[in-house]
Amino acid sequence: MPCRPLVAVALAAAIGMPAALSAQSPLHAAIEQGAAAVAPKVVTWRRDFHQHPELSNREVRTSGIVAAHLRSLGIEVRTGVAKTGVVGVLRGGKPGPVVALRADMDALPVTEEVDVPYRSRVRTEFGGQEVGVMHACGHDLHTASLMGAAEVLAGMRANLPGTVVFLFQPAEEGAPPGERGGASVMIEEGALDAPKVDAIFGLHVFSGQRVGDVLYRPNGIMASSDTWDMIVHGRQTHGALPWGGVDPIVAASQVVVALQSIVSRQVDLITSPVVVTVGTFQGGVRFNIIPDSVVLSGTIRTFDPAIRLQVQERLKRTAEQVAASSGARAEFSIRSPGNPVTFNDPALTERMRTTLERVAGPGRARLGVTTTTAEDFAHYQQRIPGMFVFVGATPEGVDLESVGRNHSPRFVADEGALPVSVRLLANLAVDYLAGGR
């Protein structure tokens, strides 16, 4: 899909206003003017990040660009937070509360199949194998948009009634095995404490919605997520003599099939949606050798804490008992910490609803549905009130059912989402600060 040229993006930022500048407050007018001015830079940053993606906890180049930009704006900068995270503090010229804006920086081990001039050709090692690396979830847009919002807000710092904290976070997609990272580590290392943040906002571009649409929802908007790992142990033997050992591939295959009954037969889906997915299945090195073991991993998505624990327990029981029925042995474990439900504070969401409607324009800010995707933004929301929204990334005229979804090698986020995201982040910060605690 061809992306919009810079001129078109800048024009969208300049004329895609929900109301005439004369009808806006001076702060809102300054945001609109600043967002239009920074639009070409935002596109350039996004394309650069897209062409040079970095996996979780490896965002060295990206965080360096972010930190240099914030310093050029006179923003206080702290680097190396949660390995590669960047925290910027912009102190306004007037007293007031503290609000945080967050963007994630990491890419995914996906080989890009989108034919654009700035496509990623990066390859690296992940999980013991060579993989392509791609911004297949739009984090390049998030980072560029928050850099743009930082420039807009820095340009009006004298009139800001409070402080804005910019959180550029690594490892939203999860730290590599054996490492820790993401929002929980950002919090541990003081990202919300110096200064103490009163509320936080974040957004995510989504290919299943039109450019210009903003979707919000009070209470739970995204599921909790847990990552599970399993090793099924058999006994290695010749492929021609399977009775001479225990085949872990067959045993693990039976486990995979049995896991499907947990959602369909063991959980009350009227109460809450549940998803159990097997994402990896690795074993064997040669066609005529039955291996000693196979390794599997996957994800659990739930919305209810009690059901979350129930599903974890039933996965463990099913894996162990089904494997044992074949003479194999299953080791099942849950990685910690998982992500809780992304929970939008109801009072904060209602308070900021008028901001969403003003920025998006008539009929473009809508109540969304819950989704079984997940976000580690939820960790921030467990500490302070927060709101997370979706920004559409598919232009008019493109079939929403045929587009590559987030995490697909064919994922495309239209750059028309950039000016919307910049204006949205800046307006949420200003309106929260102007409204006081």
Cβ distance 176 to 107 under 8 Å? Answer: no
**242 cis-preceded (ω within 30 degrees of 0):** no
Query: How many residues belong to the chain?
Result: 437
Please state whether beta strands 224-233 and 199-210 pair in parallel, antiparallel, or not at all (unpaired): unpaired
Torsion of CA 68, 70, 73, 74, to 10 degrees: -100
Q: What are the catalytic residues?
A: 106, 172
Compute how many other C-beta atoms are within 10 angstroms of the C-beta atom of residue 372: 16
How many CA within 13 A on the CB side of residue 284? 14
**Counting Cβ atoms within 10 Å, is residue 247 exposed (0-12), middle (13-18) or buried (19+)?**
buried
Distance CA 152, CA 162 (A): 15
Distance CA 274, CA 308 (A): 8
Cβ distance 223 to 372 under 8 Å? Answer: yes
Distance CA 152, CA 122 (A): 31
